[in-house]
Chain A
Amino acid sequence: MSLEDSLFGVHGKALQLRSQRLELIASNIANASTPGYKARDIDFDTALAQATKSQGGTVAGALKESMGYRVPLQPSSDGNTVEMSTEQTLFAENAVKYRTTLSFLEGRLNTITRALRGE
Chain B
Amino acid sequence: MDKPLSIFEISGRAMSAQLVRLNATASNLANAGAVSGSEAGAYRAIRPVFRTVADTPGIATVQVERVVTSDTPATKRHDPNHPLADKNGDVWEAGVDTSAELVDMVEASRQYQNNVQVMQTAKSLMLETIRLGK
Residues of A within 8 A of B (CB): 15, 19, 22-24, 26-27, 29-37, 40-42, 63-64, 67, 84, 88, 91-92, 95, 98-99, 102, 105-106, 109, 113
How many contacts A-B (CB < 8 Å)? 89
Residues of B within 8 A of A (CB): 5-7, 10-11, 13-14, 18, 21, 50-52, 57-62, 107-108, 111, 114-115, 118, 121-122, 125, 128-129, 132-133
Given contacts A24-B58, A34-B62, A99-B128, contact A91 B118 (CB under 8 A): yes
Chain A residues whose C-beta falls within 8 Å of the C-beta of B107 in the assembled complex? 33
A interface secondary structure, majority: helix
Q: Is the CB of A32 within 8 A of B58?
A: no
Chain A residues whose C-beta falls within 8 Å of the C-beta of B61 in the assembled complex? 27, 30-31
Given contacts A30-B11, A109-B132, contact A35 B114 (CB under 8 A): no
